[in-house]
Chains A and B, each alone.
Chain A
């Protein structure tokens, strides 16, 4: 289980990795849900956790809490949350075992949202937390 220091380390990795493409991927999604059927996980098991927009949304909630006006002052409007152990474990499980980074969702997204980049960031956060 993650502790507070480790969680802080994970957050630092997110801040450190925040470059132009990552910020774009975290900001641009319109949540239209059209990406769902482009994911082979969703096709084989159609549940909400396998919708790429839902997956990326799990990190966006944490990002918004620190980097977004509404997320800071009106968190309920944008579902902004703080990173805790439970959320982090769920994030890690999702990024490592429910996404193959194939970019099919990116190709099928009208906006070109780079969800695999978001998943890679979660993987980097998990790796940093482990050391």
Chain B
């Protein structure tokens, strides 16, 4: 049964990467609109800023004001990437270092907890409840449960089977639902940085002149 769940998770992982690649090529096939305005700066500087300092919590008024919500999201996503890393690693290796196991279990477990907090926020906060779709709830629930089992499996190998089953469901759902924003994040930040740089809103080494 463990082997079956493992194969199922592997198939779902391949489906996930296939689905993300599909979305990538469908988007890349579309036109990239021309900007007729004369460039004033380098788009590369803007893109660099967009993916680095522009992501910092102090770079945006919204995250300065809602830094707890922002850090919750950061912890959740660190948990997701660590969880995926451990899941992929588990296909190749059965045993990890014990200290490493504990550290990853804590990071991923905390990520899962932050996922459940996110669900509570969507239920209790009026604005969030209004803008949320069923897909939002399903996605966060699937990811959080999957992370919880990955964390548990690092401590107790008996949880490996539920880990593979829940991860298989989550990975299968990912390219169909909201989770595919993991791909569009890169497109979005690129376009954002592209315009910031080209119109010289962001200068070399981060001096931002927006609003001046």
> Interface of A with B (CB < 8 Å)?
18-21, 23-25, 27-38, 48, 51, 53-54, 57, 69-70, 76-79, 106-114
**Majority-rule SS of B interface residues:** helix
Asked if B185 is at the interface of the complex by the 8 Å CB criterion, the answer is yes
Interface centre among B134, B177, B184 (most CB of A within 10 A): B184
Minimum distance in angstroms from B66 CB to a CB of chain A: 6
Given A37-B65, A110-B62, 16 other A-B residues pairs in contact with their CB atoms under 8 A:
A18-B30, A19-B31, A20-B32, A28-B187, A29-B181, A30-B178, A31-B132, A33-B131, A34-B62, A34-B70, A54-B127, A77-B134, A111-B185, A112-B192, A112-B193, A113-B188
Provide the bound-state CA to CA distance between A36 and B27, in Å: 28
The total of interchain contacts (Cβ-Cβ below 8 angstroms) comes to: 121
Complex Cα distance, B55 from A109, in Å, reads 10
Report how many residues on chain B are interfacial, defined by Cβ distance under 8 Å: 44
Beta-carbon contact of A20 and B187 below 8 Å: yes
Bound CA span A31–B136, Å: 8
Cross-chain contact of B32 among A19, A53, A76 (Cβ < 8 A): A19
23 sample A-B contacts, Cβ–Cβ < 8 Å, listed by A number: A18-B30, A19-B31, A19-B33, A23-B30, A25-B188, A27-B184, A29-B181, A30-B181, A33-B127, A34-B63, A37-B62, A51-B131, A54-B127, A57-B131, A69-B176, A70-B135, A77-B134, A78-B134, A111-B184, A111-B188, A111-B189, A112-B50, A113-B188
